[in-house]
Amino acid sequence: MHTYDSILQIVIELVKPLAPEGRGVREDTDIVSDLEFDSLKVMSLVEQVEDRFDVSVPLNILPDIRTVRDFTVQLQRIIGEN
């Protein structure tokens, strides 16, 4: 069973290589404004998360995700449904 904290740590681990060098990644980090993610990086992150957790992330939830916390909460919900 994945807890919020364990999911958060994995999400941060997956985000870091995609983030600009020297940028910290925390729970409250804004994926677009703080990390300058474009649609390609977002989709790369989604793909990595789907592979890591063996889930499918519905694309219609992406507009509601701003921070690493938002993404983790949504991912926890998706994992719980599977």
For residues 74-79, give the mean pLDDT. 95
b/e code 6-25 from CB counts within 10 Å (16+ = b)? ebbebbbebbeebbeeeeeb
Say which CATH number the domain at 13 has.
1.10.1200.10
Give the mean pLDDT of the chain: 95
What is the pLDDT, as a whole number, of residue 1? 74
Domain interval for residue 40: 4-81
Q: pTM of the full predicted structure?
A: 0.91
- At residue 31, the pLDDT reads 96
C-alpha distances out from residue 50 to 20, 22, 24, 59, 78, Å: 22, 26, 23, 12, 10
Residue 46 has pLDDT above 90, yes or no: yes
Say if residue 81's pLDDT is above 90. Answer: no
* Domains identified in the chain, total number: 1
pLDDT value, residue 27: 97
